[in-house]
Copies of this chain bind each other. A is one copy, B any other.
Amino acid sequence: MTPTCPIPDRITDRIELAHGSGGSMTSRLIERIFRPRFGNSLLDRGLDSAILPPSGERMAFTTDTFVVSPLFFPGGNIGDLAVNGTVNDLLSVGATPRYISVGFVIEEGLPIADLKQIADSMAAAAREAEVEIVTGDTKVVEHGKCDGIYINTAGIGILPPSLDLDPDNIRPDDVIIITGPIASHGMAVMSQREQLGFSSAIESDTASLGDIVHALLSVAPGLRVLRDPTRGGLAGTLCEFAAASGVNIEIVEDAIPINPRVSSACELLGLDPLHVANEGIMVAVVPPAEAEAALAAVRRSAHGADGAIIGKACAPDPEGGRVWLRLPLGNRRLIEPLAGDQLPRIC
């Protein structure tokens, strides 16, 4: 056996491969950057797994990896995006988000200052969403083997008894509500990436939507389904709803909220805002009798001021449910999910 030569405890301002070694440099990274920001009684035990108290309820469990480029964009960065995205996936099934895990893959050379800023945003997003980061993992790959940082978050939430949000539940005449303007996230990232002139004017909508979801659950006991329309945009989510339920869905173009600057940017770039990713809105489907109360509850909630009723479920379609967009002149066009990638690396 050969004696090993320990690397001295030096100060560095960039991530090095040794920060992912599992040795003392990894420990220092955790102690100096992550624990001060994320620390809580569950994380601080530092075991291979976090120990969570029994809940006695059903749980929701989800995962998402974030590879957005660039890492920083107007309105957020990969850190708050990663926390909010997983929180919203838990909320989408009606769960109350509780615990988050974080898996970092960091590129050698990433400025420590960037990592601190990302971790700060994650901590703030976790506080805002009332979730705890309870377990984590850090890997470092050589320069050129990732794109700054990739972040996986998995999440656990607690699910109220007998709640069953599922696109299968959608029935004819159900009402489609959107909780805010569409396409802001995708266009914010796109404009930052391409250094377009309007970048300062468009901000990502990244946000956790616990307030809206809890409001909806309290006023709309018949709530059919919720979904945050991220990759694939509003069109992708509605097409999934139609396909799963077998009923057609019709939405009205003029009723869909969109920031005029976002709309102009989409037009300029030849993008359909219905296909552009969102990170801070929900699509909710409710029975007609609960629609007005649901909309009012959304509009009273954080991030819900621009909520709107945008359409409704129609008759079942023997060929499978489809999505139609009613245009201002009264005609309509078929909306289809994108096959490929309109905007890669958006989340």
Contacts and interface: CB of A to CB of B under 8 A. Distances in A.
A216 to B, nearest CB: 15
For this complex, into which size category does the number of interface residues on chain A fall? 35 or more
Nearest to A336: B6
Interface in A231-254: 231-232, 236, 253
A3 B338 CA distance: 11
Interface in A1-30: 1-4, 6-9, 16-18, 20-27
Contacts of A99: 61
Interface in A127-157: 134-137, 139-142, 144-147, 150, 152, 154-157
Interface string A295-322: 0000000000000000000000000000
B59 A56 contact: no
A49 B60 contact: yes
Contacts of A266: 1
Given A63-B103, A101-B154, A152-B63, A17 B344 contact: yes
Nearest to A168: B45
Interface stretch (A112-120, A190-198, A201-209, A267-275): A267-275
- Copies of the chain in the assembly: 2
A288 to B, nearest CB: 24
B63 A101 contact: yes
Contacts of A58: 51-54
A338 B4 contact: yes
Interface string A156-191: 110100000110000000000000000000000000
A243 B230 CA distance: 45
Interface string A36-68: 000000000101111111111111111111110
A213 interface: no
A3 to B, nearest CB: 7
A228 interface: yes
A49 B157 CA distance: 9
Which of A147, A277, A337 counts the most B-chain CB atoms under 10 A from its CB?
A337
Contact of A146 (B103, B146, B273): B146
B56 A54 contact: yes
Contact of A50 (B53, B62, B230, B337): B62
A92 interface: yes
Contact of A93 (B49, B154, B253): B49
B92 A49 contact: yes
Contacts of A147: 141, 145
Contacts of A144: 144
**A52, A59, A272, most chain B CB atoms within 10 A:** A59
Interface string A84-106: 00001110110100010111110
13 contacts: A2-B270, A18-B340, A21-B342, A24-B338, A48-B92, A49-B62, A51-B59, A61-B101, A62-B135, A63-B101, A63-B137, A63-B154, A103-B152
Given A6-B339, A54-B57, 14 more contacts: A2-B272, A4-B272, A4-B336, A18-B339, A21-B342, A22-B277, A48-B93, A49-B60, A50-B61, A61-B135, A64-B103, A65-B104, A141-B345, A142-B345
